[in-house]
Structure 1
Amino acid sequence: MEALTENIDLESDEGSPLTLSHSTNAKQSFQFETSHTSGDRLSVLRELQLTAFHSIYIVLFKAKINVLLPFGPLAILLHYLTGQHGWVFFFSLLGIAPLAERLGYATEQLAFYTGQTVGGLLNATFGNATEMIISLYALKSGMIRVVQQSLLGSILSNMLLVLGCAFFTGGIVHYPKVQVFSKATAIVSSGLLLMAVMGILFPAVLHFTHTEVHFGKSELALSRFSSCIMLVAYGSYLFFQLKSHSNLYDSIDEGRENNGEDSDGEVPEITKWEAISWLTIITLWVSVLSAYLVDAIQGASDSWNIPVSFISVILLPIVGNAAEHASAIMFAMKDKLDITLGVAIGSSTQISMFVIPFCVVVGWIMGQPMDLNFQLFETATLFITVLVIAFLLQEGTSNYFKGLMLILCYLIVAASFFVHVDNKSDDD
């Protein structure tokens, strides 16, 4: 009996360390899994933090033009503390300039994920976001002439200054090579610009020839009807560009890729959703600054003794087109003139065929008499500019001299608006 008892005790004693060791191993494995899971979470959080800091650094600190960003909040402070409209307008312009350039950068990053054709369209669209926001604020305030002149100035700036600088720099960098672009797409864009001139020209001619059926009303009705037609035409153009005849817009770029010319190995610096988030944030901040900018236009004109037409046609578009300016020059230096035309001429087409008719329709909804009568001087300037561009693009080639001619033409236009007195009631 004693031996049996000792045997049982031995078995029980031998089993207990096995049980203890098994439970100890289970606890250790559970602690290891827990620590491993928490370590994964910490690593994921660190990666997210590093990604966020990297995105903020790339967008807000890397570009040298971002040193102008503090002028935006400074303009708002001056608006409430001093009320000096000249300085508020000046600092608002300085604050919007880097935002417009960053909009273009975020759009270029998004273009890596969408392709070149859609990327050029996005660049033109978000590049015009500044002008559209400023126009809507001015329209809401009843400043119809500021809306008309700022949009006209944006078209002139894109066609003459932006495209001229792109042709000039591209011609200098690639001298003596002659740069080429798609002649077919340039002809389509020129045709749309001429259609826009037609839509803007007829209300002005109707007004200044005094041939309206109902004075003042027929001109407005014609403008609203023509705006709806222009919006339909622009929608058809998007379908033509992106769906039915997209091969026209990809032919030259695909040929370069097949020949191995496009081998600069560019990669996006931020992700797609980061680009979309930055586009949203920057657009909201531009809308805030635009409100203070529009409120200070008249005061800046009085304090600086500069015509409102010069501020609207020359100063506002130069700041608003900062994104297009930088993008067009960059692509021209890389010998990608098709994208350059998509940015510069595409932006002018979008403003003339979409933004201006859109503002007329929005003014119709708001009860504001926004029309397409841009007055005789402005309409003649636009008509001559479109003719110059149509003649320069018909060959499908570019060089530095063509760019220089466009820049000099823009200087003539700027000087003309500096000495131009805007008097809408004058029908002569």
Structure 2
Amino acid sequence: MGDHVLGIAMNGVTGRMGYRQHLTRSVLAIREAGGVVLPDGSRVVPEPVLVGRSERKLREIASRHGIERWTTDLDSVLSDDGISVYFDAQITSAREEAVRAAIAAGKHVYTEKPTANTLAAALELAKLARAAGVKNGVVQDKLFLPGLLKLRRLVDAGFFGRILSVRGEFGYWVFEGDWQEAQRPSWNYRTEDGGGIVLDMFPHWHYVLEHLFAPVRAVTARAVTHIPERVDEAGHPYAATADDAAYAVFELDGGVVAQINSSWTTRVNRDELVEFQVDGTQGSAVAGLWNCRVQHRAMTPKPTWNPDLPTGERYRAQWQEVPDNAEFGNGFKAQWELFLRHVVADEPFPHDLLSGARGLQMAEAGLHSSRTGRRVELEEVSLS
């Protein structure tokens, strides 16, 4: 049983997410640990090849981490038989063309989302991958984080009884870039570059709702641009043409209603940057990315509405913390390990390009609902 060395072309690792989460905390961490163990006891060891536009940045990253190969020529790595997997963490507007080329070259594909700019393009990528017979996956990292893993445990255990509703709050204040540097790149706020919080976050909410609760069947949303002008990385003002906040209601199978606010123009008054409250007939839970608190039916207090008296209840203290009961690693790394086993050992991997296309469908439906003021039903999306 020999180890499998798997060449991975990693495009977009000079960006914050591509570098921190995918390169250093996932692929390099897996390599340094000796690879991922396969069912037969052998290991698959990833060997990254860095791809990007900046020679200087690529050279510096490669030197810092002892990576032998890097290039600004994507075609050269796609024609290299020693590279089996193509990974994409570029800006959204550049992703579709590169993924299409990787599939045509016979590479297995793992990519950030959204996978393309439109549902039609995302579906075409999924169909091309199926026709080419290549393995494919989409990053759905939040499913692998401690808070949502605990929430999954509660759902599987039947803790909630019949689930009634989900309420999510996500966001923080992203500085405009004038008196304080923005925490996000300026392209996020330009529609022409693939920016916008709906396109960025609705695919996340789709896989969270679909995998934890039930398929999404309808969307009603309002997307807005609260901050119309921002300042870019060079200190130049620019028009923010993309939405920076979205307020949405999602209708799920079984009558579950999910309300999720997404905003880059809100100040945080939560324990975590994203929190989901799930209410059911037998109990409720509030889960963030790390923690999860519960209140069972038998332990639910009896609040009484009385605006004439100050509230003496310490409501937060009436909830119980869900224990870890396990060691939780980096969510991105956990999904990378699953994908590598999928590629080499053909283990199941449900987070494919078709799943990514359904997330983009929900984003498009949200934007359409916002433009028209109407509720939008989601049709079944398939490769047939």
Smaller-chain TM-score bracket: under 0.3
Question: How high is the TM-score relative to the length of structure 1?
Answer: 0.25
Question: How high is the TM-score relative to the length of structure 2?
Answer: 0.27
Structure of higher RCO (CA pairs closer than 8 Å, 6+ residues apart): 1
User: Which structure has the highest strand share of the two?
Assistant: 2
